[in-house]
Amino acid sequence: SRSINLAVIPGDGIGQEVVAQGLKVLRAVLPQDVKLETKEYDLGAQRWHRTGETLPDAELEALKGHDAILLGAIGDPSVPSGVLERGLLLKLRFAFDHFINLRPSKLFPNTATPLAGRPDIDFVVVREGTEGPYTGNGGSLRTGTPAEVATEVSVNTAYGVERVVRDAFERANARPRKKLTLVHKNNVLVYAGHMWKNIFDRVAAEYPEVTTDYLHVDAATIFFVTQPERFDVIVTDNLFGDILTDLAAAVTGGIGLAASGNINPTGTFPSMFEPVHGSAPDIAGQGKADPTATVLSVALLLRHLGHETEAARIEDAVSADLAERDGGASRTTEQIGDALAVRVAD
Amino acid sequence: SRSINLAVIPGDGIGQEVVAQGLKVLRAVLPQDVKLETKEYDLGAQRWHRTGETLPDAELEALKGHDAILLGAIGDPSVPSGVLERGLLLKLRFAFDHFINLRPSKLFPNTATPLAGRPDIDFVVVREGTEGPYTGNGGSLRTGTPAEVATEVSVNTAYGVERVVRDAFERANARPRKKLTLVHKNNVLVYAGHMWKNIFDRVAAEYPEVTTDYLHVDAATIFFVTQPERFDVIVTDNLFGDILTDLAAAVTGGIGLAASGNINPTGTFPSMFEPVHGSAPDIAGQGKADPTATVLSVALLLRHLGHETEAARIEDAVSADLAERDGGASRTTEQIGDALAVRVAD
Ligand SMILES: CC(C)[C@H](C(=O)O)[C@@H](O)C(=O)O
Ligand SMILES: CC(C)[C@H](C(=O)O)[C@@H](O)C(=O)O
C-alpha cells in the first residue's frame, strides 16, 4: 500500500532510543510516494506509575486502527515483575491474536558469537504466540502461607496449533532447504505434546517436499550450540520458543541483533514488531544500546506490509554495516542508526 | 556404612553398556571391607514389549529396600513417547520423592566445548524433581478432533519449593563462592514464579553469606553461553532445570560427561543416580558410548551414601583421564571403563 499508518510504543528503558533509530531508518528507506504517519503511544512503566494503567481499553481500540505497531521494550525494575509484561505486552499479543511470533536467527559475517568455529547459522523460529503457558490460566491458593499451592496451566488447542504449524510449513516450503523441526517435550508433556506432534505429522503429509524432524526442547538446546546449522525452520510452543530464541540470539551475535514480529497473518488486527531484547534499564539513556535489532524488526514490518524491496534493503544495509564493524571504535545508538539510514537511502 | 545394597536398572539402548562400566569402577574404588550387593531390575522397553509393564508395584516395593539405585537410560523409539518416561523414570522420581535433582556442570581441562575461549565453568544445578509441569496433571478433550483442547498443569507447592530452595542454599553456603541464582519466568508465570521468588527471598535472609541473583529462564540461557562462569549454584523448577542442564552439558563437553542424582535427602526412599544422557539407540551395542557420565553418577551415589573419599577418587580419575584424552585414538566404552577402574584402584 502507498501509505503506512504506524503505531509506535517506545516503552521503557532503551526502548525510546532504539525506536527512534528504527523510525529514522524506516523514513530513509521508504520511497517518496509512500506516506508514513506515526502516532506515539505513551505506555509502559512511567504511565503505570502515573496512572496505574497498563493498556486502557480506549488505547487498545485506537491501536486497532493502525497498519502495524513498532514496539521498543517493556519492563522496569520499579514495576512488580509481570505487571507490564502481562498487562501490556502479552495483552497486545493476545488481543491482536498474534499467533505467529516470528524470530529469525542469522549469524552475520564478522559479528561475534560465543561459539567456536563460527558455524553457519540461518534459521527462523516460528513461535506460537497466543497459547501454551502464556495464557494466564492458573492461580494461587493460600498465597504466602506454608500451605500455598500455585498452578500454571498451559492451554493448547488444535485450532491454535494447526494454524501455527501450517504457517511454519509454508515458510519452510518457501526456503531453499525446506526443513522444518518441531520442538516440544512430548515425552513428559504428553497431552499437549502428542497433540502438537499429531497435528504436525498430519499437516506434513500435505508438504511432501518439506523434510521434517522432531526434537525434545532439552535436546534442541544442545544442537543450538553444537550444530546450529542443522536448523532451517523451527516451530514450537510459546514458552519453548521464548527460551530457544534468546539462546538463538546469544549464539548469533547477541540480543542486540535479534528481531521479532508478532504477526496476525489474517490481517484482522495490526501486527507488532519488536526487538527480542528487553528494556535494559542499566544502560538506558546512555546511547549504548544497539538499535540494530529494532531496525531489523522494521524490516520484518515492511515485509509484512508488502514492501519486500525495502525490507531487503534494510537487511542488506545491516549486513554491510556489521561486516565493517569489526575493529572499529564502538559507536553510539544514534551513530549506528545514522549509518544504517545512510546505507538504505543510497 | 560398610555395605551397599544397590539396585541396578540398566534400561534401554546404551544404558546396559554404560552401567556395566559404572559398576566396574564402583567395584574398583570400594575398599575391601565395604560389601557391595547388586540386584538388577529388568525394566525398560524390552520388558514393556514383553509384558506391557513399565514398573509393577512389586518391583517398586522391592526397590524401596535398596540403599540406592543406579540407572542407565530409559526410552526407545519402538515405545510410544512418554510411556517409559512417565511410567518408569518419572514414576520412580515421584514415588521415591526425589525432590533434589542434582546436576553438576564442570568444564574439565582438555575436554571439547563448543564455546570459544573455554570459559571457566563449574556450577551445580539444583533442579526440583517432584513438581512443576512434570506432575502429569492436565488432559486432553475431544482428542484427535479439530476441536481438541490439551492442557498441562504445572503444580507448585510452598512445601515443595521451600525444601529445594533450602537445599540449594545449603549447597551454595558450602561452596567457596557462595552464590545462588534462582531461575524462573516470574514475569509470565506469575503465580508459580512469584511463589518461588518470595520463598527464595525469605530463605535468603537466613543465609546472609550467600549472594543471590534472579534470572528469567530465557536470559539464563544467554548467560550459559556468554558468561557461564557467573554461575555457582542454580536452583530452578523441574522443566527449566531439564532444559538448562542439557544446555549446561553441551557447553561442558557434552552429554557424555553429565552426571545426575535424583536425591531424597531425608533418606525415606532410595536415591537414584543416572547419566543425563538418553538411551541413544542409534549407537547402542557398538561400544561407542562414553560411560564417563555414568561413572560420575556413581561418584554422586557414593557421596550421597557417605563415601566422600571414594567419590572424590572417581572424580579425580575422570579429571586425569580427560586430561589425557586429547589427541588420543578414540576408545571404546569398555576401554574408558577399564582406564577409570585402573585409576581409581591405584
Ligand atoms: C518480556 C516477556 C514477557 C517476553 C516473553 O516472555 O515473551 C520476552 O521475553 C520475549 O521473548 O518477547
Ligand atoms: C527422559 C526425560 C523424561 C527426562 C526429563 O525430562 O527429566 C530427561 O530429559 C532428563 O533430563 O532426565
DSSP secondary structure letters along A251-301: HTT-GGG-EEEEE-TTSSS-EEEEESS---GGGTTTT-S-THHHHHHHHHH
Residue B268: all three cell numbers together = 525415606
Chain centroid to CA B238: 11
Q: How far apart are the first and last CA of chain A?
A: 22
Global confidence as pTM: 0.97
Q: What is the mean pLDDT of residues B111-118?
A: 92
Residue B198: pLDDT band with limits 50, 70, 90 = very high
Query: Is the domain of A158 the same as that of A69?
Result: no
Q: What is the pLDDT of residue B255?
A: 87
Measure Cα distances from A57 to A51, A54, A91, B71, B186 in Å: 14, 10, 11, 56, 25
pLDDT at residue B325 in the model: 79
CA B68 – CA A15 distance, rounded (Å):
53
Domain boundary among B252, B283, B305: B252
Residue B118 and residue B51 share a domain: no
In a domain, A108, yes or no: no
Q: How far apart are CA A20 and CA A15, in angstroms?
A: 9
- B200 closest CA partner among A244, A281, A81: A81
**Kind and range of the H or E element at B200?**
helix B190-204
* Domains held by chain B: number: 2
Burial environment of residue A71 by CB neighbours within 10 A (0 to 12, 13 to 18, 19 or more): buried
Per-residue pLDDT reduced to its tens digit, B76-109: 999 999 999 999 999 999 999 999 999 999 999 8
Q: How far is B45 from chain A (nearest CA, A)?
A: 14
- My answer on whether B168 and B241 are in the same domain is yes
- pLDDT tens, B255-268? 889 999 999 999 99
* A273 within 8 A of A262, measured Cβ to Cβ: yes
Q: Do B76 and B161 belong together in one domain?
A: no
Quick one: cell of A311? 525490507
Q: Is residue A106 part of a domain?
A: no
- What pLDDT is stored for residue A244 in this prediction? 98
Query: What is the share, in percent, of chain A residues with pLDDT greater than 90?
Result: 94
Size of interface A-B (CB pairs under 8 A): 223
Instruction: Select the residue of A90, A145, A192 nearest B150 (Cβ to Cβ).
Output: A192
For residue B282, what is the DSSP state?
Answer: G
User: For ligand 1, is residue A85 a contact (CB within 6 Å)?
Assistant: yes
For the Cβ of A274 lying below 6 angstroms from any atom of ligand 1, the answer is no
Q: Is the pLDDT assigned to residue B1 strictly greater than 70?
A: no
Give yes or no: residues B207 and B290 share one domain. no
Would the pLDDT of A25 be above 90? yes
Over 90: is that where the pLDDT of B13 sits?
yes
Which tens digit of pLDDT belongs to each residue from B39-64? 999 999 999 999 999 999 999 999 99
Domain match, A128 and A212 both: yes
Residue B27 lies in a domain: yes
Query: A257-294 pLDDT, tens per residue?
Result: 999 999 999 999 999 999 999 999 999 999 999 999 99
> What is the residue with the minimal CA distance to atom 5 of ligand 1?
A242
What mean pLDDT do residues A98-103 have?
98
Residue B290: name the closest of B245, B264, B257, B329 by CA. Answer: B257
For residues B83 and B131, state if they share a domain. Answer: no
Q: Which pLDDT does position A18 carry in this prediction?
A: 98
- Measure in Å the smallest separation between the Cα of A49 and chain B Cα atoms: 18
Please indicate whether, in this complex, the C-beta atoms of B86 and A190 are within 8 angstroms of each other.
yes
Q: Which three cell numbers stand for residue B145?
A: 478432533
| Position B186 confidence tier, pLDDT thresholds 50, 70, 90 | very high
A255 has pLDDT over 90: no
Identify whether A239 is part of a domain: yes
Tell me what the mean pLDDT of segment A226-253 comes to. Answer: 97
What is the rounded CA–CA span in Å between residue B273 and residue B301?
6
What is the tens place of the pLDDT at every residue in B215-268? 999 999 999 999 999 999 999 999 999 999 999 999 998 888 999 999 999 999
Q: Cβ contacts (< 8 Å) between B185 and chain A: which residues?
A: 239, 242
Q: Determine the distance separating the centroid of ligand 1 and the alpha carbon of A238, expressed in angstroms.
A: 10
Q: B145 vs A36, A158, A183, A241, CA distance in Å?
A: 45, 7, 22, 25
Same domain (yes/no): B200, B134: yes
Q: Which of B252, B282, B312 is the last residue of a domain?
A: B252
Look at residue B170 in the predicted model and tell me its pLDDT.
98
| Active-site choice (B97, B106, B134, B167) | B134
Chain A residue with CA closest to B187: the answer is A82
A26-39 pLDDT tens trace: 999 999 999 999 99
**pLDDT score recorded for residue A250:** 97
Min distance B334 CA to chain A CA atoms (Å): 26
Confidence band for A326, pLDDT divided at 50, 70 and 90: low
Residues A131 and A247 in one domain: yes
B108 lies in some domain: no
- Cβ B146–A162 below 8 Å, yes or no? yes
Q: Can you give the CATH number for the domain in which B232 is found?
A: 3.40.718.10
In angstroms, the first-to-last Cα distance of chain B is 22
The 3-state secondary structure of B49-62, one letter per residue: HHHCCCCCHHHHHH
Would you say residue A259 lies in a domain? no
* Domain closes at, from B203, B230, B252: B252
Residues of chain A with Cβ-Cβ distance to B136 below 8 Å are: 190
Answer yes or no: is A118 within a domain. Answer: yes
The residue from B42, B218, B316, B326 that is catalytic is B218
Q: pLDDT tier at A330 (50, 70, 90 boundaries)?
A: confident
CA of B312 to the centre of ligand 2 (A): 26
Q: How far is CA B214 from the centre of its chain?
A: 22
Q: Separation of B93 CA from ligand 1 center, angstroms?
A: 31
Residue A327 has pLDDT above 80, yes or no: no
> Taking residues B131-136, what's their average pLDDT?
98
Classify residue B106: in a domain, yes or no. no
Both A326 and A237 in one domain: the answer is: no
Q: Note down the domain range covering B222.
A: 113-252
Give percent of chain A with pLDDT exceeding 70: 99
Integer Cα distance of A129 and A132 in angstroms: 8
The grid coordinates listed for B202 are 525469605
Q: Distance between CA atoms of A132 and A238, rounded to whole angstroms? A: 6
What separation in Å is there between the alpha carbon of A278 and the centre of ligand 1?
8
- Cα–chain center distance at B335: 24
Ligand nearest to the CA of B185: 1
Do B289 and B170 sit in the same domain of this protein? no
- Is B127 assigned a ligand-binding role in the annotation? yes
Confidence of residue A10 (pLDDT cuts 50, 70, 90): very high
Looking at the structure, tell me whether residues B143 and B77 fall in a common domain.
no
- Single out the residue of B9, B215, B15, B8 nearest to residue B125, CA to CA: B215
C-beta separation of B317 from B336 below 8 A: no
Q: What is the average per-residue pLDDT within A169-178?
A: 98
